Structure 1
Amino acid sequence: MLCGIGLGLSISSFYAPQAQAREYRYTDSHLHYVDFLQYSQGMQALLRQMDKSNVDYAQIMGLGVVKKWQEDEPQKPQYLMADDARVYWYSATDELVARAVEQLPARQRARFFPFITGFNPTDMNAVDHIERMLTWHPGLFKGIGEVLLRHDDLTALTYGETPRANNKAMDRVYSLAAKHHLPVLIHSNITSVYHPDPIYRKELEEAVSRHPDTTFIWAHAGTSEAINREQYLKFLPSLVSELLQRYDNLYIDLSWSVLHPYILDDKNKPRGEWLSLIRKYPQRFTIGSDLIGYFDALGSTLEDYNPLLDALPTEVANDLARDNFLRLMGVSPR
């Protein structure tokens, strides 16, 4: 049975009168330096948007797959779903990120936390690529992911077997992550597009429970745009609450598909069950833009969280906006 989290509390009980509007500093905890064609606007464009948008720090990663341009397609695809061509695993994405970050002056470089993502999560050799990147770029990489596991539309276009959180190849990755004290950001949908129950919960729990010394960050709380188009997962806040209570090594990334329609309702007001959940576990959530290669929307995307932040106590709001991810990176917020 899923745990209750105070669902009976009224939303209005979470709001406190504000003498003046708050201004937030952000850490973007989910940012892709490149898109599905491995293109990027570049670091200077990203830094300009960060400075403009009160973003002090950012997790930064590539994309573990690249979209194929098939010879029978008259135009180069610009996005994952632009045509029926498949995607393939692309290890060079990590080198693109490494070179971009390493070329920065030290002061700017310190604002980024690069993650390794360019490996096939069904390949028992994946750990070799991760070790290679750690050796080639000592001290640069601070985590692993976003590991693309069950991912509906994306998974359907990927060559090979379906990636799963509890795949034996991922067990090796999790063990390596624990050895090097690297958090692992995983995209693992909690259910399929048309199934109303959390049918993939076991895969996630087996991974997290088998590796208590590994820090897991669960991207989007198991949601996706494709799932959201077809159904609303009523069980989600209670399930997240139960998982956080059971596993101290699990954190929740609230980027993109979980903000709407779950955390904010159709009037852009925070839902009481999510406010209760974040107040109960104030240091177990992060927010991110989930932008891919293009950064003009960085400020507006993170400001979309402000209705949620404004409804939380100031300290909790600042933790969520900026400091929780820094703690995961071993950085003491100032």
Structure 2
Amino acid sequence: MLIVRFCFITCCLFGLACTAQARDYRYSDAHLHYVDFFQESDGMPKLLAAMDAGGIDHVMISGIPVAKKWHENEPKRPRYYAGDDAPVYWYSATDVLVAAALEELDPAQRKRFHPFLSGFNPNDKNADAHIRRMLELHPGIWQGIGEIFTRHDDVTALTEGDTPRANNEALARVYHLAAEFDLPVLLHSNITSKRERNPLYLQELEEPLRNHPHTRFIWAHAGTSMELHRHQEKLEFLLPTVKRLLDDYPNLYIDLSWTMLEPYLLDGDGKPDAQWVALVERHPTRFVLGSDVVGHFDNLGAGMAAFAPFLDALKEKTARRVARDNFLALLPRTGAGDEGVSRR
């Protein structure tokens, strides 16, 4: 009986020790929209409260580059961009809303926010001139460009005007400007269409990676989307494609926001995928986490914490880089906050 009690106590102490060693992550959210598709927001106080509750030290903050139209023929205002067939249109004032929200903050709070410019038409070769004006209008504020919408499911279909491509002339001028000002670019470019089971649009991403080696590109959720998953479930070609791109292009970084969590990082049982774990360990500084919330912050902390099972499968140093530090290292050298995180 004494031996049984001893074994029981030993097991309990071992369990407590393991619990004590459980990792407690601090996060940087590398993909957050301050407003929704109607350019409305829960506001800064609610965002700050959600960040504090979720252990989120820093966020990339941007607007939404398009606004949803409430069409004259619709008696009820849609709740989302896909709520009806009315179009969306390019909306430059989204950056003004972000800048105004930042001006409400005291200097200590402001250091936690890293604003990206997004309010421009990526089909317009005047876009780089507009971005330059915004940089001059708010000197020292902007720390990146994006999220740039190119191939984007139903957003693409609903957008007034031509379909943007990541490799068009207008965006080439934007990428040159990004390199000039040391600004990372968050780019939404779907890897394929809803029906093609191959990387149909990959060239549109790969061409800028090749032609603009001095521009840092963050690929929003690695070209995936919930709409693609509705039609195709898991994209089997995604992992080998991302592997090759990371090996070939040192200026590419991967945003592991929500559509990457399942079915890629975690399987159907919530267990980490060994191949994705191995890929992140192969490139430990090239992945960031994002919530991709749009203007409403109730689920912000839970969305970031959902990555913990995958982070726990990584080496501790790698996990902390992915959870927090990699995003800070991507920012301009003068805009990475007060932690002294240097670019690798």
**Would the TM-score normalized by the shorter structure come out above 0.5?**
yes
Matches within 5 A, 1:123-202: 123-202=124-203
Query: Within 5 Å, which residues of 2 pair with 1:28-177?
Result: 28-177=29-178
- SS of match in other structure, 1:101: helix
Q: Give the Cα–Cα distance (whole angstroms) in 2 for the partners of residues 255 and 52 of structure 1.
A: 19
Give the length in aligned residue pairs. Answer: 318
Amino acid at match of 1:135: E
CA distance in 2, matches of 1:273, 1:56: 29
Partner AA of 1:292 in structure 2: V
Secondary structure of 2:271's aligned partner: coil
Tell me the distance in 1 between the aligned counterparts of 2:318 and 2:89: 40
Partner amino acid, structure 2, of 1:90: Y
Structure 1 distance, partners of 2:196, 2:306, is 29
**Could you list the per-position Cα deviations for residues 254-306 of structure 1 after superposition, in whole angstroms to 9, with x for gaps in the alignment?**
10111111111111111111000000000000001000000010110001100
Tell me the residue number matched to 1:20. Answer: 21
Q: Distance in 2 between matches of 1:50 and 1:170?
A: 32
In structure 2, the CA distance between the partners of 1:96 and 1:246, relative to structure 1 (3 Å rule), is same
For residues 341 and 252 of structure 2, the distance between their equivalents in structure 1, rounded to whole angstroms, comes to 20
- 2-side partners of 1:97 and 1:252: how far apart? 24
1:76 Cα shift? Answer: 1.2
Distance 2:70 2:215 in 1: 37
Match of 2:295 among 286, 293, 296: 293
Match of 2:33, SS state, is coil
Aligned partner of 1:12 in structure 2 is none
Partners in 2 of 1:161 and 1:244 — Cα distance?
Answer: 30
Note the aligned Cα RMSD (angstroms): 1.2
Looking at CA atoms only, which structure, 1 or 2, has the larger radius of gyration? 2
The answer on 1:248 being equivalent to 2:215 is: no
Could you list the per-position Cα deviations for residues 42-86 of structure 1 after superposition, in whole angstroms to 9, with x for gaps in the alignment?
011100110111000000000000000001111111111111111
What is the match of residue 264 of structure 1?
A: 266
- Residues 118-177 of structure 1: per-residue CA shift (max 9 Å, x gap): 011011111121111101100000000000000111100001111111010000000000
Q: Specify the alignment match of 2:315 in structure 1.
A: 313
Q: If the length of structure 1 is used for normalisation, what is the TM-score?
A: 0.93
The structure whose RCO (Cα within 8 Å, separation 6+) is larger is 1
Counterpart in 2 of 1:274? Answer: 276
Give the SS at the match of 1:253: strand
Shift of 1:20: 3.0
Distance 1:236 1:18 in 2: 35
Q: 2-side partners of 1:212 and 1:97: how far apart?
A: 29
Secondary structure of 2:114 counterpart: strand
Say which of 283, 292, 295 aligns to 2:285: 283
* One-letter code aligned to 1:243: L
Correspondence for 2:215: 214
Q: Secondary structure at the match of 1:29?
A: strand
Equivalent of residue 234 in structure 1, options 233, 236, 248: 236
Shift of 1:18: 7.3
The 3-state SS of whatever aligns with 1:159 is coil
Per-residue deviation at 1:333? 3.8
Amino acid at match of 1:305: F
CA–CA distance in structure 2, aligned partners of residues 243 and 182 of structure 1: 21
For 1:161, the aligned partner's letter is: D
- CA offset at residue 19 of structure 1? 6.1
Identity, in percent, stands at 56
1:3 alignment counterpart: none
Runs of 5+ consecutive residues of structure 1 not aligned to the other structure: 1-16
